[in-house]
A and B are shown apart, each in its own frame.
Chain A
Amino acid sequence: MTVSQKRAMCAWSFIGIPLIYFILIRFYPSLDAFSIAFTDWDIVGEKKYIGFDNFKVLWNDPIFWIVLSNTFEYLLLGVPISLLLSFVIAYFLDQVRFGHGFLRACYFIPFLTTAVAMAWVWRWFYQPVPVGVINLALGKVGILQLDFLRSTTEALPAVLAPAIWAGLGFQIVIFIAGLRAVPVTYYEAAKIDGATSWRILRDITLPQLRPTIVFLVVISSIGFLRIFDQVYNMTQEGEGGPLNATRPLVLNIYKLAFENFDMGMAAAQTVVLFVLLLIITIIQLRMLRK
């Protein structure tokens, strides 16, 4: 064996272990879900092949469409808001020298906090008076209290808020890294030419951040499309209520699989989610990469 062959062997033996893990624990079950989607199965009994029946039922199920539109609402609200917020914070944080580390830590801590604990704290924040702090504060300034989680329109944004907040720290750190990677010479040249800070932002910073933005859009899209913890913990009995107003696809899949034991239908919806994630990711990569 040559030295390079030995090296390759060594490398493969390191890669091999996680690879086997991924194949057995991740890829195999994921692929299996595709075959389960065409069966009627209650976890324990025999799988019965039923062709496309699950997909037909799903197509005619009004709840499925509500759940799907909720999922997109999470995505369409969550991605732009979180990216805009994190960029603005990162942009200014990058210029702050005093207490920079402390401030960055403050933004990053929610990312490290357990989603469940955070969801429950926010669940209590949103309570009506006399316990909910937000409504208490609104009351102090003389504004009528909001229903938040007890409203079919306010509940989804209310659930989304802590999800955005939790992810913000990660996005900020990535943005700051991206900002730091922009060559200083570009800025110096622009300053010599007398460019305003707005033009520098538009013509240098943002184009230079393109790979960072692509990465964050894809990652956060996937994150919002599979939102679960917040909804499960912030709604009564994890139902995604009221009136399915906050129930996302993943929660629906979970309920079907592990409360109704309807694995076939759950797998069918998982396939739908997979296809959606795939399409969205491909489109985003194409559009943003050029």
Chain B
Amino acid sequence: MLKSIITIITTVVLTCSSWAVEIDYWQYSYKSRIDAMDRLIQAFEAMYPDITVKHSNFPYAQFRTKVAAAVSAGEGPDVVQLYYGWLKDYRRAKILKPLSPKLFPINEIEAEYFPLVRLMKQDGDYYALPTAVRSLALFWNKSLFEDAGLDPEVPPKTLDQLLEMAKKLVKRDKAGNIIQVGLTMGPINQDHNWWREVLVRQFGGTPYDKNTSKVNYFNDAGIKAFEYYVSLLTKHKVSVVDFMDKGEIAFKAGRAAMHIDGSFVLSTFDRTRRLDYGVTELPVHNGIKANFSSYWVNGITTKVNKKKQIAAEKFLKFITSEPAQQLWLDEVGELPSRRAVALREKNLKHPKYGPFIRGLEYAVTTDFKSEIAQRKTFVDMFDRVVLTNMGVIESLRIGAMEDQNIINEGLKR
């Protein structure tokens, strides 16, 4: 009798302990994302008491390096958040496992998510899924509009209006130095995306060919788009590059009247006292609407073993579910990647999320070969003109060439 009781107890203990799994989840540090993820983890752990999730986060600047170094050493996360543009690098470095089609059926993904997630399908397998997506929109500071004699409720609708209003909104000190910018300029932040996917299209071009294997902006459309962007600084002098270090900071401080950025800054701006701002869809030009969408995805690393994989997949399923996406929108301000959640009436009509969600409908996601390197080609292209007085066309030619080289390298791999 005693023997059988002991056997039962040991079996129970053994099975319990063998089922208790701890998985590591990594994302980069951003207050609202950390809080939202902690809440999701709490709910997840309540649902699956045998799984615990250890949530770690690192500053954005080191995040990528940490993941690569850790996973290659057999350490690091089981479920990891990564920028969609890094997927190719991560896959090449064999950091990610494909998602099992049983738990994540491909046709279901493609029916329920916005089409932009298809970039995550590589050689027939999905490697990662986003909780949330983001698009760009124009932020405007209502108080500064009022100070400049503009209607605080009427933001610019077109690129021409954007420029005209920016001219009225820029403020200078006695020496002529700009102390308030009409529009922020940060080529290294979101402007390179605004230029590549929005301005180039609005001036009649497309940045790349269909397979993103050829640079397609060294032409009339590209030149005009680049000229428009450069002229904001050189000809019309409505801005200072990286004003107050970063456009986001300048806008927060009430030193920038207009600012183009992603939906993720909403929560930061909302926490800023005395910042009365509005959000509107990106200005159109030639009647063309365009937007850029980017997103962070969650994937499962090659480090997980069988037991952890089941837990990791359950967790991934949970954090990409409909309720999780609504929570992410409410807490972080990032847009749901599932159409059903995004297109809910209350989300579409929301004064702040609405413009971003409407932008999602026509947004394009750049299939970067290497996002940081390709970003740098635009930053350098711009700097050559404004810092070394190179001509717009010549600089664009060099930029397009550098970009093409990166794409060629990427295709070779």
B376 within 8 A of A: yes
Shortest CB-to-CB span from B390 to chain A, Å, is: 10
The chain A residue with its CB closest to the CB of B172 is A129
What's the Cα separation between A44 and B97 when bound, in Å? 14
The chain A residue with its CB closest to the CB of B65 is A258
Residues of A within 8 A of B92 (CB): 42, 45, 261
The chain A residue with its CB closest to the CB of B176 is A144
Residues of B within 8 A of A131 (CB): 244-245
Shortest CB-to-CB span from A12 to chain B, Å, is: 32
Residues of B within 8 A of A243 (CB): 380, 383-384, 387-388
What's the Cα separation between A42 and B89 when bound, in Å? 9
B313 within 8 A of A: no
What's the Cα separation between A135 and B243 when bound, in Å? 14
Q: Check A259 against B372 for contact (C-beta < 8 Å).
A: yes
What's the Cα separation between A258 and B63 when bound, in Å? 10
Instruction: Mark each residue of chain B from 67 to 98: 1 if its CB lies under 8 Å from any CB of chain A, else 0.
Output: 01101100000000000000001001111000
Q: Check B177 against A139 for contact (C-beta < 8 Å).
A: yes
B61 within 8 A of A: yes
Kindly specify which of A29-37, A98-106, A182-190, A232-240 makes contact with the partner chain.
A232-240
B34 within 8 A of A: no
B370 within 8 A of A: yes
Kindly specify which of A1-9, A82-90, A145-153, A206-214 makes contact with the partner chain.
A145-153
B39 within 8 A of A: no
B179 within 8 A of A: yes
Q: Check A261 against B93 for contact (C-beta < 8 Å).
A: yes
Contact of A42 among B93, B188, B384 (CB under 8 A): B93
The B interface, classified by DSSP as helix, strand, loop or mixed, is helix
Contact of B94 among A44, A135, A236 (CB under 8 A): A44
| Residues A44 and B179 in contact in the complex (CB < 8 Å), given A127-B244, A241-B379, A243-B388 | no
The chain B residue with its CB closest to the CB of A135 is B177
Shortest CB-to-CB span from B382 to chain A, Å, is: 9
B111 within 8 A of A: no
The A interface, classified by DSSP as helix, strand, loop or mixed, is loop
A18 within 8 A of B: no
Contact of B370 among A144, A151, A241, A260 (CB under 8 A): A260
Instruction: Mark each residue of chain B from 153 to 186: 1 if its CB lies under 8 Å from any CB of chain A, else 0.
Output: 0000000000000000000010101110000000
| Residues A128 and B64 in contact in the complex (CB < 8 Å), given A45-B94, A260-B373 | no
What's the Cα separation between A129 and B373 when bound, in Å? 30
A194 within 8 A of B: no
Residues of A within 8 A of B61 (CB): 237-238
Q: Check B95 against A44 for contact (C-beta < 8 Å).
A: yes
B276 within 8 A of A: no
Q: Check A128 against B175 for contact (C-beta < 8 Å).
A: no
Contact-size category for B: 35 or more
Shortest CB-to-CB span from B89 to chain A, Å, is: 6
Q: Check B173 against A129 for contact (C-beta < 8 Å).
A: yes
Q: Check A130 against B373 for contact (C-beta < 8 Å).
A: no
Instruction: Mark each residue of chain A from 144 to 186: 1 if its CB lies under 8 Å from any CB of chain B, else 0.
Output: 1100001110000000000000000000000000000000000
B240 within 8 A of A: yes
What's the Cα separation between A139 and B172 when bound, in Å? 13
Residues of B within 8 A of A135 (CB): 177
Q: Check A130 against B255 for contact (C-beta < 8 Å).
A: yes
Contact of B89 among A127, A236, A261 (CB under 8 A): A261
Contact of B188 among A43, A127, A236, A261 (CB under 8 A): A236
Residues of A within 8 A of B68 (CB): 43-44, 258, 261
Instruction: Mark each residue of chain A from 122 to 149: 1 if its CB lies under 8 Å from any CB of chain B, else 0.
Output: 0110011111000100010010110000
B241 within 8 A of A: yes
What's the Cα separation between A139 and B179 when bound, in Å? 12
Shortest CB-to-CB span from B175 to chain A, Å, is: 6
| Chain A residues numbered 241-290 whose CB sits less than 8 Å from any CB in chain B | 241-244, 258-261
What's the Cα separation between A44 and B383 when bound, in Å? 35
What's the Cα separation between A40 and B359 when bound, in Å? 42
Instruction: Mark each residue of chain B from 358 to 379: 1 if its CB lies under 8 Å from any CB of chain A, else 0.
Output: 0000000000001011001001
Shortest CB-to-CB span from B225 to chain A, Å, is: 21
The chain A residue with its CB closest to the CB of B253 is A131
Shortest CB-to-CB span from B137 to chain A, Å, is: 22
What's the Cα separation between A238 and B139 when bound, in Å? 26
Q: Check B244 against A239 for contact (C-beta < 8 Å).
A: no
B227 within 8 A of A: no
Shortest CB-to-CB span from B5 to chain A, Å, is: 50
Contact of B93 among A45, A128, A239 (CB under 8 A): A45
Shortest CB-to-CB span from A46 to chain B, Å, is: 10
What's the Cα separation between A243 and B94 when bound, in Å? 32
Shortest CB-to-CB span from B386 to chain A, Å, is: 9
| Chain B residues numbered 386-402 whose CB sits less than 8 Å from any CB in chain A | 387-388
Q: Check A128 against B245 for contact (C-beta < 8 Å).
A: no
By Cβ-Cβ distance, the 10 closest A-B pairs, closest first, are: A258-B65, A44-B93, A130-B179, A43-B72, A242-B383, A44-B72, A129-B177, A44-B94, A236-B188, A243-B383
- 10 residue pairs of the A-B complex, CB under 8 angstroms, read A44-B72, A45-B92, A123-B245, A128-B243, A130-B179, A131-B245, A236-B379, A241-B188, A241-B380, A258-B64
Q: In the complex, given contacts A44-B72, A243-B387, A258-B64, what are 10 additional A-B residue pairs having Cβ atoms less than 8 angstroms apart?
A: A44-B93, A127-B245, A130-B177, A131-B244, A150-B242, A238-B61, A239-B188, A239-B376, A243-B384, A261-B89
Residues of B bordering A, CB below 8 Å: 61, 64-65, 68-69, 71-72, 89, 92-95, 173, 175, 177-179, 188, 240-245, 255, 370, 372-373, 376, 379-380, 383-384, 387-388
